[in-house]
């Protein structure tokens, strides 16, 4: 998959744009994914490789080709989203708790809560029939909304339904980061 990340100021002005490439191999044993953030102006590249082992995700990170330390809850390059947000790694968090069920966008959804770094929590709405993420909301320990992850649109790419547009809204600062997926190539063995 290829796409674009755009971080916007409260007035809608684009503060930062980065190209993103995502390779997902859910059929691998164990499943794996690679995420690349590219700055076309400077040539800088950040690469996160993830492997989902039974013990949890394993991360390998490189900045400009060199291995580097990285925490999945770290913000990516001033874009207003984290590596955990981009990779949806919270969907595999074994500490997630089912809170119940609710309607979201007219669909029956399971409501889950996932603990996040810094005593924050992430509430997820997962459609019951398809398992798709319909949205998420991150709150701090005081219950203040820090981030809203909103699926804006989905599209069928080569027979596979994927998120087309995703917004990460930061209410406290009035900022928004948008991920737009431009291309998806499905490879079959």
In a domain, 84, yes or no: yes
Work out the pLDDT band at 181, boundaries 50, 70, 90. very high
Helix (H, G, I), strand (E, B) or coil at 87: helix
In a domain, 188, yes or no: no
On the question of pLDDT at 29 being above 80, the answer is yes
Q: Residue 139 has what pLDDT?
A: 95
Q: Residue 36 has what pLDDT?
A: 94
Instruction: Tell me whether residue 148 is exposed, middle or buried, using C-beta atoms within 10 angstroms of its C-beta: 0 to 12, 13 to 18, 19 or more.
Output: middle
d(CA 36, CA 23): 9
Counting the structural domains of the chain, the total is 1
Q: Residue 88 has what pLDDT?
A: 86
In a domain, 81, yes or no: yes
In a domain, 45, yes or no: yes
Range of the domain at 21: 2-183
CATH number at residue 77: 2.50.20.10
Q: Which helix (H) or strand (E) holds 83?
A: helix 83-87
Q: Residue 92 has what pLDDT?
A: 80
In a domain, 35, yes or no: yes
Q: Residue 116 has what pLDDT?
A: 87
* Predicted structure pTM score: 0.84
94: its two tokens: 């074994």
In a domain, 189, yes or no: no
pLDDT in tens, 102-160: 998 889 999 999 998 878 899 999 999 988 888 999 999 999 999 999 989 888 887 77
pLDDT in tens, 45-101: 999 999 988 877 889 999 999 999 988 888 898 899 999 889 888 888 888 999 999
66 Cβ partners below 8 Å, 6+ apart?
none
On the question of pLDDT at 187 being above 80, the answer is no
């Amino acid at each position: 998959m290829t796409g674009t990340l755009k971080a916007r100021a409260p007035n809608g002005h684009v503060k930062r744009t980065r190209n993103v490439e995502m390779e997902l191999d859910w059929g691998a044993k164990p499943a794996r994914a690679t995420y690349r953030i590219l700055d076309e102006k400077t040539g800088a590249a950040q690469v996160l490789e993830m492997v989902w082992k039974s013990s949890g995700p394993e991360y390998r990170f490189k900045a400009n080709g060199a291995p580097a330390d990285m925490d999945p809850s770290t913000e990516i390059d001033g874009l207003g989203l984290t590596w955990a947000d981009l990779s949806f790694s919270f969907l595999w968090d074994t500490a997630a708790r089912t809170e119940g069920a609710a309607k979201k966008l007219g669909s029956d959804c399971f409501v889950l809560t996932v603990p996040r770094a810094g005593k924050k929590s992430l509430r997820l709405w997962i459609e019951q029939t398809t398992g798709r993420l319909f949205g998420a909301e991150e709150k701090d320990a005081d219950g203040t909304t820090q981030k809203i992850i909103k699926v804006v649109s989905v599209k069928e790419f080569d027979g596979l339904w994927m998120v087309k547009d995703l917004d990460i809204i930061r209410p406290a600062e009035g900022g928004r980061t948008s991920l737009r997926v431009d291309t998806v190539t499905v490879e079959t063995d």
